[in-house]
Amino acid sequence: MVFKGPGGFGRIVNGIMNLIMCAVLSAYVLFTVQNIPGNEALPIFMPLGFFVSWVDSFCVGMFIGDFVPGLAWGNKLADALHAKGKVARHFISVAVLAFVMITSISFVCTWINNVQVGGMAAVIASWTMVYPFLLVSGYVIELISLPLAMKAAKAISGFGPAAASPQQ
């Protein structure tokens, strides 16, 4: 089945994380753009705009989450830094995961929504305006949500990452 075993575990974690993360990121970006002087009366931060923005970012996030091993890279960095404690390892691995996911999702979505109208100058200007907040908030969201998503994924998929680790 599509949600069982190691593949299902990863798909479920990716889905849960993107559901949460993309909702927050979409709301912040739309709120920010809505409040740019001159945009106050435009219908930007509306339910349909939010839904379109969320779908856009969710699709990008699912693709990146499936094909870019951000968490594995974070675990390798934690190993390289000789982080021993569970909390320290979590903070380090999530920092790498958040950097990869937030940077990729925010840049690709900003490109999709701005390149035709304003070219790369508009993409870079728009992205740098929202990126610092997105990176920090994305890190906090992932720091809190990842353990919960992993527990849910383990329950649904019948697989946990510890089952694949060699016994020590």
Which pLDDT tens digit goes with each residue over 4-40?
878 789 899 999 999 999 999 999 999 999 999 999 8
Q: Are 157 and 1 in contact (CB under 8 A)?
A: no
Residue in the structure block whose two tokens are 């190691």: 6
Distance of CA 38 to the CA centre of its chain: 30
Per-residue pLDDT band for 1 (boundaries 50, 70, 90) equals low
| CA neighbor of 23 nearest in space, from 66, 52, 44 | 52
Tell me the three state secondary structure of residue 93.
helix
Going by C-beta distance under 8 Å and a sequence separation of 6 or more, which residues neighbour residue 154? 9, 160
pTM exceeds cut of 0.95: no
